[in-house]
Amino acid sequence: MTVSVMAPPRAGVHLSALPPLSLYVHLPWCVKKCPYCDFNSHELRGSLADDVYADALIRDLELSLPLIWGRPVYSIFFGGGTPSLFPAATVDRLLAAFRARLPLSADCEVTLEANPGTFEAEKFRDYRAAGVNRLSIGIQSFNPGHLKALGRIHDDSEAWRAIEIASKHFDNFNLDLMYGLPGQTPAEAEADCAAALSCGTTHLSFYSLTLEPNTVFHRYPPDLPDDDVAADMQEAIEGRLAGGGFTHYETSAYAKTGLECRHNLNYWRFGDYLGIGAGAHGKLSFPDRILRQARFKQPGSYFDQLGRGTAVSEEHEVSRKDLPFEFMMNALRLTDGFPVAMFTERTSLEITAIAGVLDEAEAKGLITRDHERIRPSERGQRFLNDLVGLFLENDDVNSNIKSQKINISFQK
C-alpha cells in the first residue's frame, strides 16, 4: 500500500552570515502634507517637540538593542516627513547617542532628507558639523508652476538657494526630482533634468509621479501626461543623465561613479535595517529567521506604546516561500542585478529552488544571467512589475520550497 504524505514545511531559514545592517530614523512631521504623498507624515500643529521625540527615539533604539547586539552599522538615514524641521543640535544629540550605543562602521554614510526652504537651508552647515555626510534635498522640480501644482511650499529660487548652500558644505548630496507632473511637457521635464545636471549634485532620484491610494491626488486626480508621454520623458531623462556622467543604477536612481546611496543599496541588496521612530519599518536577520517589524504610525500612539515597553505594532517572520519574491522585488531594481551567491547568502535558499521561474523570466526576455550574476534585461527594467510578479508565491513553481511530497510504501 502506498500513502502520500505531505512533509511539514521546513520552517525557518539557516543563514550562514548576516547581511550589513543599516539604521533608519523616521521623523514624521511636515509643515504641510503634499497632495501626492502617501508616507507616514503628519502636519505639524504648534511647535515641534524635538527633544521629547529625540528622547523617544533613543529609548526606542535601546529597547531594540538586543536584536542587533554587536553588529556594526553600515549607514544611517534620517527620513520623513521633513527631517530638516529638526534643529541641528537635536540631530547632533541623536548621532551622539547612536555612536554611544552602536558600533558605527568607519565609512558610515549618514543621510538626512531636507526640504529646500530658506529656514532649512540655513541649518545645512550645522548638520554637516553634527556628522551628517550626505544630504537628500526634495527639489521635485525647478519649474515654479509645477512646484505649485505639486503643493510644495518652496519655490524655484528657494530651490536654487538651497542647492547653493548644500554644495558649499556637502561634497555628496542628492536631489529628489519628479517627472510626469500635472500639465508637464517633455521639454519641461528635460529642462528640469538640465537644471539638475548644472548644479553639482552627485546623485539624482528621478521618480515618475504616481497617484497613490489615500492621497489627495488619488481622490482628485490632476491631469497627468499619459503613459506614452511619461515613457518618452523617462527615456529622454535617461539619455541626458547618461550624457551628464550619471549611471542609472536602480529603477529611479542615478549616481556619479562610486557615489551610489549606500543606505538604499543595502535595502535593494536585501540587507538588514532597524527602523526607529513612528511608523518606521525594519527587517532584521538572525541565523534561523528573518523578521519584519513596523512601529505605531501616529506619533501619539508611538509615544504611548513606547512608554509601555515597545513601539512595535507588528512583527512577523518572513516565511521561506515569501523569500524569493521579497529578495527579487528589491534586488531586480538594480541595473546590475545581483550575484547568484548573494541570493543564497541572504535567503538560505538554493538558486535551484527558483530555477523554473528564472527560466520563465529568461524565456520572456526579462532577465539575463550567467553563473555569477542575474540581471534584469532592458525589458525587465521597464516591465519590472511583470518580472517581479513571477516570483510571487505560486502553487506550481514554489512547491519545492513549501514542502516536499514523499511516498512512503509499506506492507500490510
Binding site for another protein (CB under 8 A): 24, 39, 79, 207-210, 227-228, 230-231, 234, 251-252, 264, 266-268, 273, 275, 280-283, 292, 294, 325-326, 329-330, 333, 364, 379, 381-386, 388-389, 392
Cα 83 to Cα 92: distance, rounded to the nearest angstrom: 13
CB closer to another protein out of 117 and 275: 275
At closest approach, how far in Å is the CB of 176 from another protein? 10
Burial (CB count <10 Å: 0-12, 13-18, 19+), residue 191: middle
At closest approach, how far in Å is the CB of 371 from another protein? 27
At closest approach, how far in Å is the CB of 389 from another protein? 5
CB closer to another protein out of 51 and 226: 226
Residue 203 pairs with which residues in a beta bridge?
174, 255
Cα 66 to Cα 208: distance, rounded to the nearest angstrom: 39
What are the residues whose beta carbons fall under 8 Å from the beta carbon of 181, sequence distance 6 or more? 141, 143, 146, 149, 150, 188, 189, 209, 224, 225
CB closer to another protein out of 71 and 281: 281
**Amino acid at the residue 30:** C
At closest approach, how far in Å is the CB of 277 from another protein? 11
Q: Cell 504641510 identifies what position? A: 32
Please answer whether residues 377 and 365 qualify as being in contact, where contact means their C-beta atoms are separated by less than 8 angstroms: yes
**Amino acid at the residue 364:** K
Cα 296 to Cα 276: distance, rounded to the nearest angstrom: 10
CB closer to another protein out of 24 and 29: 24
Please name which of 137, 85, 134 lies closest in space to residue 110, comparing C-alpha atoms: 134
CB closer to another protein out of 252 and 368: 252
CB closer to another protein out of 15 and 280: 280
